[in-house]
């Protein structure tokens, strides 16, 4: 299994419960075929440029281990989740 880091920027107008629900949703997806090592809620930050009419975003950093096949599915779920403004998944070097 490879190590990955995923940064997700979600809509800053969401309630705390909705944010927890999204983190749980993504963590469960990863845990089905891998293992979440850490979840860091960075919080609200100002964006460098406006994305989907938002000047701020709520940042979440997930560090996890998974097989490469999971990344395609994870990115698909990020894309169809309306609350996700932007995301990136990066493979960590050994």
Domains and CATH numbers, the chain: 2-89 (3.30.70.60)
Report pLDDT digits (tens) over 82-94. Answer: 999 999 999 988 7
Instruction: Read off the pLDDT of each residue in 6-28 and give the average, rounded to a whole number.
Output: 92
Residue 9 has a pLDDT of: 94
- Model confidence, pTM: 0.88
Rounded to whole angstroms, how far apart are CA atoms 93 and 79?
25
Residue 33 has a pLDDT of: 86
The two tokens of residue 3 are: 């190590």
8 A C-beta contact, residue 33 and residue 67:
yes
The two tokens of residue 23 are: 């983190």
Report pLDDT digits (tens) over 23-81. Answer: 999 999 999 888 999 999 998 999 999 988 899 999 999 999 999 889 999 999 999 99
Rounded to whole angstroms, how far apart are CA atoms 69 and 12?
30
């Amino acid at each position: 299994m490879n190590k990955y880091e995923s940064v997700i920027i979600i809509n800053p107008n969401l309630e705390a419960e909705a944010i927890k629900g999204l983190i749980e949703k993504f963590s469960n997806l990863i845990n089905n075929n891998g293992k979440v090592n850490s979840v860091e809620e960075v919080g609200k930050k100002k964006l460098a440029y406006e994305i989907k009419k938002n000047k701020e975003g709520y940042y979440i950093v997930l560090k996890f281990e998974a097989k490469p096949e999971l990344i395609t599915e994870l990115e698909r779920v990020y894309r169809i989740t309306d609350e996700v403004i932007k995301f990136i998944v990066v493979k960590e070097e050994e």
